[in-house]
Amino acid sequence: MTILVTGGAGFIGANFVLDWLAHGSETVINLDKLTYAGNLQNLASLEGDGRHVFVHGDIGDAALVARLLAEHKVRAVLNFAAESHVDRSIEGPGAFIQTNIVGTFNLLEAVRGYWSALPDAERAAFRFLHVSTDEVYGSLDADAPAFTESHRYEPNSPYSASKAASDHLVRAYHHTYGLPVLTTNCSNNYGPYHFPEKLIPLVIHNALAGKPLPIYGDGQQIRDWLFVTDHCSAIRRVLEAGRLGETYNVGGWNEKANIEVVRTLCAILDELAPRADGQPYARQMTFVKDRPGHDRRYAIDARKLERELDWRPRETFETGIRKTVQWYLNHQDWVRNITSGAYREWVERQYAA
């Protein structure tokens, strides 16, 4: 038996591949385009492992996907492939439309052709799991109930709009063609192998480098934080027992304001890697102009996943964030290798204001 993982060299995808192979022997075909956030170093521990087959390619290449499905007799596809950074989607939305919408469409078409030709028993057992985000639901008021799976889609950025479109395509392929799909909408992930453009790895990287710790606006934007390994276990559970055509929200039950997250990171770094001058890292906190259209609050209600599939996250924010900081302190070579000149130029341009 074999699964196909798309985007498996990125942050969440790579963590999933590592988690999957740590829990079983089923082969993973890993298809990744290796854009700036895709990094084969994330998978270095699998070198020489016959259970992991890496293929450099695009989900938009329907012929390649069709060949991989048939050649490896794939029984499930897990779609992690996506452009995912809101700031980059504001700066250049075209890549998000191409990958997240057109790419998902081409992937679905290739999968539909393969699935339609399978023998009855294999068709019944086949699954297509689409990994999405809570950002498709829009923004919540401070006192509003958390997002449930029936919440109306109200995306507010080019990124979230492109992910919303891909969710709708997946739903349509189930209802129109009967494709056996599952969708997960997760909250903000954090943990090992996170590209340092997102808040948590960016703060850790800048703090250790003695650079400003940029905080958008007043820093009171609230997110629900989910440790990436918990997210991986939720996906495995949904793939195993989720009801076809259903959406499952995956959250960490950890709502935190961005400024609180930064202060927590500074406090942990003060303890584990204190500054040479003895000053607290919080002195490096700097407020910058807010992101255009910045959503104020996301919150995930994951009770459906708990009720139907008996899943809850194992990590609290306090345990997960400490593990994350320690991982980055232990893997500074990984950070140095990916923070290229192009990355530095983008960060400087993004936070120049």
- The SS3 of residue 68 is helix
Q: Are 6 and 13 in contact (CB under 8 A)?
A: yes
- The SS3 of residue 191 is coil
Catalytic option among 32, 58, 83, 135: 135
Catalytic option among 159, 216, 281, 351: 159
Q: Are strands 255-257 and 222-227 parallel, antiparallel or unpaired?
A: antiparallel
Per-residue CA distances from 227 to 180, 219, 238, 239, 254 (Å):
28, 21, 17, 19, 10
CA distance 37 to 13: 11
Catalytic option among 32, 134, 197, 255: 134
CA distance 138 to 209: 34
CA distance 29 to 72: 8
Q: What are phi and psi of 29, to 5 degrees?
A: -95, 120
Active site residue 135: yes
Active site residue 149: no
What is the four-CA torsion angle of 170, 173, 174, 177, rounded to 10 degrees?
A: -170
Please identify every residue annotated as catalytic.
134-135, 159
